[in-house]
Amino acid sequence: MSIPSVGQPAPELEMLNDEGKPTRLSDYRGQKVILYFYPKDFTSGCEFQACQFRDHHADISGRNAVVLGVSADGVESHQQFREALNLPFHLLVDADNTYSKAWGAYGERTRADGSTYQDIIRSQYVIDENGVLIDVQAPVNYKESIDLAMKAIS
């Protein structure tokens, strides 16, 4: 599968959500979807980004859109993260990074000491009501994420 780009149909995905229920992208046909990949629950940048989506939830919903967050953390971690931050949207489990790799949201990252490792690269994709990608931000800065997403769904 090639990395999705603007104008293409979004590839189907199916992952467990924070409630342990299978969730597919196609479950949201008829709505816009802000699908964002983030490195890890309970880390500062990821908390900031999630809280920005939480704080703009009414505006996002008012634009017929939903948010779905994706990381490799498990159902229990996602459940705790969602509850701790009072997130009104679901978090999806990509335990083996299958989808983050397929969507181009996985690769080399650099630690503060200069060493490198492979992990999820913060990225976001906006999909229209018909399942077509209308915006791709890969990578995306956690501080700019919400503004870019809101622009894409307006």
- Give the Cβ contact number of residue 141 at 10 Å: 12
When computed from its CA atoms, the radius of gyration of the chain, rounded to whole angstroms, is 14
- Rounded distance between C-alpha atoms, residue 27 and residue 12, angstroms: 10
Q: Got the DSSP string for 103-122?
A: TT-EEEEE-TTS-EEEEEPP
What distance in Å separates the CA atoms of residue 12 and residue 65, rounded to the nearest whole number?
Answer: 18
Q: CB within 8 A of 144, min separation 6: which ones?
A: none
| CB neighbour list of residue 93: distance below 8 Å, 6 or more residues apart | 15, 16, 17, 18, 70, 71, 72, 73, 74, 75, 78
139: cis peptide before it, omega within 30°?
yes
Q: Which one from 46, 50, 60, 149 is the annotated catalytic residue?
A: 46
Residue 51 catalytic?
A: no
Catalytic residues: 46
